[in-house]
Structure 1
Amino acid sequence: MNNDNINNINNGVVVISGGSAANNLVGVFKDLVAAGNGDGRCPLSYVIPISDNGGSSSELIRVFGGPGIGDVRSRLVRLIPDSEPQDHHPVIDEDAVSPTASYPHSSPIKQFFNHRLPVHPPTARLEWLDIVESRHSLWTSIPSPKKELIRSFLNHLNLEIVKRARPPHSVFSFQNAAVGNLFLTGARLFTGSFESAIYLLGVVTGVPEYVSVLPAINSNFSHHISAGLVDGSVVTGQNDISHPSAPTALPSDEDTVEDANLPGSLPTLRQQNIVFSKSPAPEERDLPARIERIWYINPYGQEIRPAANPKVIDAIRGSQCLVYSIGSLYTSIIPCLILRGVGAAILSSSIRFKVFILNGSIDRETGPASDPFTALDFIAAIARACSESRGIAGGECKPEEYRAYVTHLVHLEGEGTPVVDGKALKGLGIECLRVYGRRTREGGMRYDEVALKQALEAILGRREGVGGIGRRMTMGGG
């Protein structure tokens, strides 16, 4: 995984995305860059947010500080080559609350880093000890030199966990912890560098060199977000914005808790949000009002304006195609766009195609159900975030300026999908491509990978025929 050869290359593809949703499209982006640079592949960069404070990441942040690594780990693990080719990848939510899923076509190393410890805390702790002491069956097919290298970082993390233990309250919970998250944290603590930890996991697991996984902010510190709603209320922390859960309460005397948080930090940022569902209960599904704006906060809740990872800026400026992928609009995409430097980089003349792949359904962040976002609302949110990144007060951006940030919209059509007014978007200079998809059990639609790849190839001018439009996709949007 090469992070150093992305400068001055004007044929790369940059994908801005979050975790599990966009993971299902990794094969599409892999194929898209396959013929992008003669006989080789053009660079492919994934820009991943680090503001997640839910799941097992919340416990790592609480005890060790540092960035939310769940989405970074999720993407790296999905990029690990399988032991045998697959035409169709199963839809797997790596962040689901469950013990290890079955990955019948995965290599042993991929199964290892995909593994989650049990939900029951005492059982999870015992299984963790089996892993670090080399007794677990996960090690069976991993070569000894690689096993001992991996185990050294896990043991380093284990030592740090033991050093920080202050029972009964200040103890680390292994509940539902992802082994990949534990490895990245151990490597980050050992090297002192988040970037080095990512590089190490990529090298150990064989992530292809033409792919770069870039955290939106390259930092050893935690970065949290807040959402301002149109009714004036504020929701703090990504977990509460996206999928609220019942957190583990802190003791009444918070001074008895020793963790990585600064004294006086917001209580909502100190909680354990380990167990959650991405399909909240009906009474939790809708926010009180639409989200108007997202911003970064310090541990005390004050707004800050962090700069983007310089390698993210370099990747964007050196690309021919920028893709805003599917995923949570306000907790996966927008946190990457509002960082200083990103908006200006997207306006770079070298980027010919700025493609927005519209979600196949409405979620908690793009509701409420009584007033769901349309495709134009999604695009407006992206444009405002990019404008805010450039220092424009309030992210003010006129509709006629949207095309500076989005040139093409790829979307599905069917029950539960956001409404697309193709005529209005075309009037703004944004081309729409409707592609084939399949219904999901949860409501909404899911992209057909072949159809989506054809649409992206048509946009990039790599398909033959009139406009490059195939039978699985049509121009226009309703």
Structure 2
Amino acid sequence: MPAESFFSLTGSSTPTPVMNNGKRKGIVVFSGGSAANNLVDVFKTVRENKKCHLSYVIPISDNGGSSSELIRVFGGPGIGDVRSRLVRLIPDDPDHDDSEKAAIKVFFNHRLPKDRDAAKLEWLHIVEADHSLWTNITTAKKELIRAILNLVNFEILKRRRPSSTFDFSGASIGNLFLTGARLFTGSFESAIYLLSSVCSVPNHTSVLPAINTNFTHHISAGLANGMVITGQNSISHPSVTTALDNAAPSKDEDTEYHDAIEDANLPGSLPTLRKQYINFSKADEDDLPARIERLWYINPYGQEIRLAANPIVINALRETQAVIYSIGSLYTSLIPSLILKGVGDAIANPAIRYKILILNSTTDRETGPSSSPFSAMDFVAAIAKAGAESRSFVGEAGKHEYGAYVTHLIHLTGPGTPRVDKEALNEVGIETIKVYGRRVEGESFVRYDEKALIQALEVTLGREQRPEKSRRNTLEG
């Protein structure tokens, strides 16, 4: 019987793996922020079916957008992707009108105006509690949130200098709250716990920073032509210049100029890591001059360093039945988490039966250039190389090692999708699963159909109940 017919008629009877203590093994999803947020409901449904814990591992190396100004003034990790996932996980209950949860989601997703003066004025209205955003938030939560926001406002005032003032342009209220919570508790982990509690994130789902730190950690990428690009924002989407850049003298790249600005950066650190990157565009990005070959962490002076993963991430990987690499930017959303010490060994453990790559529906700046876009095999090779580097193996990972990091690949077909060579992937031990996508008006690429993706994941992981028949999915393997 063809695989598609078997899937549609019977489903899988694979039992759910359990640990020695009888607890069901969980699912770990590696992802970045905005792209993977579109699949949160997919992973939620799969988790509910497996009745297990779900962990999201999020990198903390982003130095663009409003996070860049928080990093410049306060230091600390890039928190934007962690915040966006926590807020996205606020539960929706269609059977009950929960106006407070809806209001909290709007509140923490809110961004201040792009105009600097208007942004500061609106911020003051928020901390003084006379802004409409507070509507429908109960007094207890309102005063807790206000206390944290007033704390971060006080810290901003303390750090005000003639050479450096905080720019509220486009600032995320959720990012400001998470920063204030981190400053108050002295713990990034505690700050995440507080925001999770305020957002009523269910206990069965965790958002784990790839590194648990109070420090800033940046990344660099090496291209095939020998060029090195420093800082995640420069790798992924170069910024539009900001007010601070425009105020610089003609040699604004000089370290001496940036040393004269009193902020959280160490004297002598790389100027490219000290700029404001508040304004950037993800549209109309120029191709990189060559393919990215490698990514690594650096200290403030540009020297390569090796960092250990968050111990909670390693524990989650030890207790998981499946690793899922979600859609998103390959080199700035996935690889920063995979190259950390301990991650490669944990993923390569044969006890993890399912290591599933959900292939992007298109290529981007990081997986080009457009003249030579990444294929599915290139995505797999980059993940395997990152895992090998995590284990201190230098150089390319051999194809015989690919199956240690990826066992299944889910993909779309159509114009612009990465090329999938099914036979070549099968030869290295990777099963391919093709699903149908959907087109959204105004977009030039295909999106995953949620129902088809859920069914593809469930047939891979083994579903305990009969799936609904569907013609929107095909299983190849």
Could you tell me which residue of structure 2 aligns to residue 290 of structure 1? Answer: 291
Deviations 1:396-443 (A, max 9, x none): 311121011000000000111000011111111111110010134342
- Whole-Å Cα distance in 1 between the matches of residues 397 and 318 of structure 2? 21
Match of 1:259 among 238, 242, 263: 263
Aligned equivalents of 1:451, 1:106: Cα separation in 2: 29
How far apart, CA to CA, are the structure 2 residues paired with 1:27 and 1:303?
37
Q: 1:274 and 2:274 equivalent?
A: no
* Aligned counterpart, 1:451: 452
Cross-structure match for 1:207: 201
Report what 2:13 is aligned to: none
Match of 2:225 in 1: 231
Q: In structure 1, what is the equivalent of residue 236 of structure 2?
A: 242
Letter of the structure 1 residue corresponding to residue 295 of structure 2: I
Q: Quote how far apart the aligned CAs of 1:114 are.
A: 0.8
Residues in 1 aligned to 2:452 and 2:142: alpha-carbon distance in whole angstroms: 40
The answer to whether 1:61 aligns with 2:71 is yes
Taking structure 1 as reference, are residues 406 and 49 closer, same or farther at Cα in structure 2, changes over 3 Å only? same
Task: Judge conservation of contact 2:409–2:431 (CA < 8 Å) in 1.
Answer: yes
Q: Contact 1:84–1:106 at 8 Å: present in 2 too?
A: no
Does residue 29 (structure 1) correspond to residue 43 (structure 2)? The answer is yes
What is the CA-CA distance between 1:277 and the residue it aligns to? 1.1
Conserved in 2, the CA contact under 8 Å of 1:361 and 1:417? Answer: yes
> Using the alignment, how far apart are the partners of 1:470 and 1:401 within structure 2?
35
1:331-370 aligned within 5 A: 331-370=332-371
| Separation (CA, whole Å) in 1 of partners of 2:35 and 2:135 | 31
| Corresponding residue for residue 55 of structure 2 | 45
Is contact 2:258–2:271 with CA below 8 Å preserved after alignment? no
Q: Which residue of 2 aligns with 1:93?
A: none
Q: Does 1:393 align with 2:394?
A: yes
SS of the aligned residue for 2:133 comes to: helix
1:84 touches 1:105 (CA, 8 Å); kept in 2?
Answer: no
Q: Is the 8 A contact 1:228 1:234 kept in 2?
A: yes
Higher relative contact order (CA 8 A, sep 6+): 2
Counterparts of 1:77-476 in structure 2, within 5 Å, are 77-82=87-92, 84=94, 107-167=102-162, 169-248=163-242, 249=245, 251-252=248-249, 253-279=257-283, 281=284, 284-394=285-395, 396-440=396-440, 441-462=442-463, 470-476=470-476
- Kept in 2: contact 1:17–1:46 (CA 8 A): yes
SS at match of 2:32: coil
- Is the contact between residue 49 and residue 463 of structure 2 (CA under 8 Å) also seen in structure 1? no
- Closer, same or farther: CA 255–407 of 1 in aligned 2, 3 Å: closer
Q: CA deviation at 1:254?
A: 2.8
Q: 2:71 matched to 1:71?
A: no
Cα offset, 1:85, TM superposition: 6.5
Per the normalisation by structure 1, the TM-score is 0.90
Count of residues paired in the alignment: 445
Counterpart of 2:7 in structure 1 is none
Q: State, as a whole percentage, how many aligned pairs show the same letter.
A: 66
Note if contact 1:10-1:350 (Cα within 8 Å) is conserved in structure 2. Answer: no
User: What amino acid maps onto 2:421 in structure 1?
Assistant: D
The equivalent of 2:16 in structure 1 is: none
Residues 200-256 of structure 1 show CA distances to partners (whole Å, capped at 9, x for unaligned) of 000111011101100000000001000000000001000010011123316343343
Larger Rg: 2
Deviations 1:90-147 (A, max 9, x none): xxxxxxxxxxxxxx99711111111110010100000000010101101111000110
CA distance in 2, matches of 1:378, 1:82: 34
Change over 3 Å in CA distance of 1:347–1:190 after alignment to 2: same
Q: What is the alpha-carbon distance in structure 2 between the residues aligned to residue 385 and residue 31 of structure 1?
A: 29
SS in 1 for 2:221: strand
Deviations 1:254-275 (A, max 9, x none): 3431100000111110010001
Letter in 1 for 2:110: H
Whole-Å Cα distance in 1 between the matches of residues 211 and 469 of structure 2?
37
2: distance between equivalents of 1:212 and 1:353?
A: 20
1:165/1:105 CA distance change after superposition, 3 Å: closer
Distance in 2 of aligned mates of 1:363 and 1:16: 18
Per mean C-alpha deviation after superposition, the further-off stretch among 439-448 and 205-214 is: 439-448
1-side partners of 2:122 and 2:20: how far apart?
A: 43
The structure-2 alpha-carbon separation of the partners of 1:377 and 1:286, relative to structure 1 and needing over 3 Å to count, comes to same
SS in structure 2 at match of 1:292: strand
Query: What CA distance in whole angstroms lies between the structure 2 residues aligned with 1:338 and 1:134?
Result: 43
Kindly provide the amino acid, as one letter, of the partner of residue 435 in structure 1: V
8 A Cα contact 1:224 1:296, kept in partner: yes
Task: Look up the SS of the partner of 1:313 in the other structure.
Answer: helix
Q: What amino acid maps onto 1:116 in structure 2? A: R
Q: Which runs of 5+ in 2 are unaligned?
A: 1-18, 250-256
- Decide whether the 8 Å contact of 1:458 with 1:469 is kept in 2: no
Deviation at 1:314, TM superposition (A): 0.5
> Distance between the aligned counterparts of 1:85 and 1:348, measured in 2?
42
